[in-house]
Amino acid sequence: MTALKTKISRLIEASGPIGVADYMMLCLFDPEHGYYTTREPFGAEGDFTTAPEISQMFGELVAIWLYSAWKACGGPLPATLAEIGPGRGTLMKDMLRTFARLDPQFAAGIGFAIIEASPRLAELQKQTLAGVPTRPEWFGHVDQLPDRPLFIVGNELFDALPVRQYVKSADGWRERVIGLQDDGSLAFMAGAGSVDAALLPPDATSASEGSVVELAPARSALMEAIAARLERDSGAGLFIDYGYERPAVGDTLQAVRRHAYDHVLAHPGEADLTAHVDFAALAEAARANGLDAHVMTQGDFLLAMGLLERAGRLGASRDAAEQERIRGEVDRLASPEAMGTLFKALTVVPKGAAIPPSVADGTGDKMARTAPGGTVRATAGPRIDLAKPLPHHPALSKSDSQGR
């Protein structure tokens, strides 16, 4: 039994069952035993690998989108370019390198910021960025950023914020809680709390007993805070995560430990806990603040931003092994069988702003209609011939073969 499991068991013994959102918060952020407060979760030696760790191309193309958004908003200075929830800092490192070659004046004039609530992770990020010429400033919350135009990115941010779960019982929908069985083990149960029927997805009325619905007010609240800043001070945001376009019945709460799925209740504090993101709810929160919001798959987003062209440029002068490595990175980032369909990209921009790619300009029309527990198969894209240089994105002409 983990130390946190003992602590949670004692808490339940003293106060009764706890909700799924409270359980997630304890597992991830408990000051003494929480996953993000005590562990190094990222990369091959951790428990999971994120897109920036897979390839430098991800950070380069994200940087190009943010730069394009800044230009489309009139190129305001002073302004802030921020990453929220940056993991170990790899994405910011790749973006800073790209900005320095893309537009040195932009890189010198804009203020770079990292929003990180964990002091331990902030120290890890400072180590990652120790050698970069332009150092970002660290903040604990988006509300602490300077009052000026904001261009912000978050990768795999919202999936770690807690969700509330409700389970269909004979008496209707009840909050799903964690309690103790007779042998002292943790177990899911139906609690006494109910939910407003207006908040349930359309298919909830026909759901069978035992079905689960997830609601995430903490995620909507964070998006509302970011959108309010963008609407007030101008700017744009890009948020990439795994999830679904429309709300639906389904249990997506999962634990990952040592690069393998684990039972959600098995190792509190030693496994990463996440749940799929409801992108419709995030988009609604952004639009409620007067902004436009567009959702597409990560694969569509990266391909529209020039992933194949960038891969061709990187691999043109490399040997066969390096070309195969780059081809594998493209497949992991964009193919439907890997991250390309499950992961979505949400762009939040000023109303009427023309910042591609978006659904409005046709580049997001192929977005898969996935829901919790759904399965999507699509035809994989063409195999890239890295022996033949593809036309490269003009914005990367100064960093054609720059590694990390």
Residue 183's contacts (CB-CB under 8 Å, 6 or more residues apart) are: none
Dihedral sign for Cα atoms in the order 198, 204, 210, 216: negative
196 lies in some domain: yes
Structure tokens of 85? 């929830």
Within 13 Å, how many C-alpha atoms sit on residue 165's CB side?
A: 29
For residue 184, give Cα distances in angstroms to 6, 8, 266, 314.
10, 11, 13, 56
The CATH number for 145's domain is 3.40.50.12710
Asked if 243 and 366 sit in the same domain, the reply is yes
Of 177, 197, 215, the position where a domain reaches its end is 215
Q: Which residues are CB-contacts of 221 (< 8 A; sequence separation ≥ 6)?
A: none
Does 338 fall in a domain? yes
Of 181, 196, 215, the last residue of a domain is: 215
Residues 199, 78, single domain; the answer is no
Do 115 and 259 have their domain in common?
yes
Residues 166 and 260 in one domain: no
What is the full per-residue pLDDT of the chain (404 aa) written as tens digits?
A: 899 999 999 999 999 999 999 999 999 999 999 998 887 766 555 566 899 999 999 999 999 999 999 999 999 999 999 999 999 999 999 999 999 999 999 999 999 999 998 888 999 999 999 989 899 999 999 999 999 999 999 999 999 999 999 999 999 999 999 999 999 999 999 999 999 999 999 999 999 999 999 999 999 999 999 999 999 999 999 999 999 999 999 999 999 988 789 999 999 999 999 999 999 999 999 999 999 999 999 999 999 999 999 999 999 989 999 999 999 999 999 999 999 999 999 999 999 998 888 644 444 433 333 333 332 222 333 344 444 333 334 444 333 444 45
Residue 372 lies in a domain: yes
For residues 169 and 91, membership in a common domain is answered with no
Question: Is residue 43 included in any domain, yes or no?
Answer: no
Residue 274 lies in a domain: yes
Distance between CA 90 and CA 97 in Å, rounded? Answer: 11
CA distance to 79, 100, 364, 380, per residue, from 163 (Å): 33, 39, 27, 33
Residue 281 domain boundaries: 51-161+216-399
Q: Do 294 and 337 have their domain in common?
A: yes
Long-range contacts of 128-133 (CB under 8 A, 24+ apart): 128/88, 128/89, 128/90, 128/92, 128/93, 129/89, 129/92, 129/93, 129/96, 132/93, 132/96, 132/97, 133/100
Residue 221's H or E segment, with its range, is helix 217-233
Q: Please, are residues 209 and 170 in contact by the beta-carbon 8 Å criterion?
A: yes
Residues 227 and 302 in one domain: yes
Asked if residue 375 and residue 266 are part of one domain, the reply reads yes
In this predicted structure, what is the pLDDT of residue 204? 95
| Token pair recorded at residue 249 | 């019945």
DSSP 28: H
84 contacts 142 by C-beta, under 8 angstroms: yes
**Angle in degrees, CA 297, 63, 87, rounded to 5:** 80
Q: DSSP secondary structure string, 180-213?
A: E-TTS-EEEEE-S----GGGS-GGGGGPPTT-EE
State the DSSP H helix or E strand holding residue 60, giving kind and residue range, or none if neither: helix 56-72
Q: Are residues 312 and 351 in the same domain?
A: yes
Examine the domain organization and report whether 168 and 185 are in the same domain: yes
CA separation for the pair 371, 250 (Å, rounded): 8
pTM here is 0.88
- Residues 321 and 188 both lie in one domain: no
Same domain, 304 and 375: yes
In a domain, 167, yes or no: yes
How many structural domains compose the chain? 2
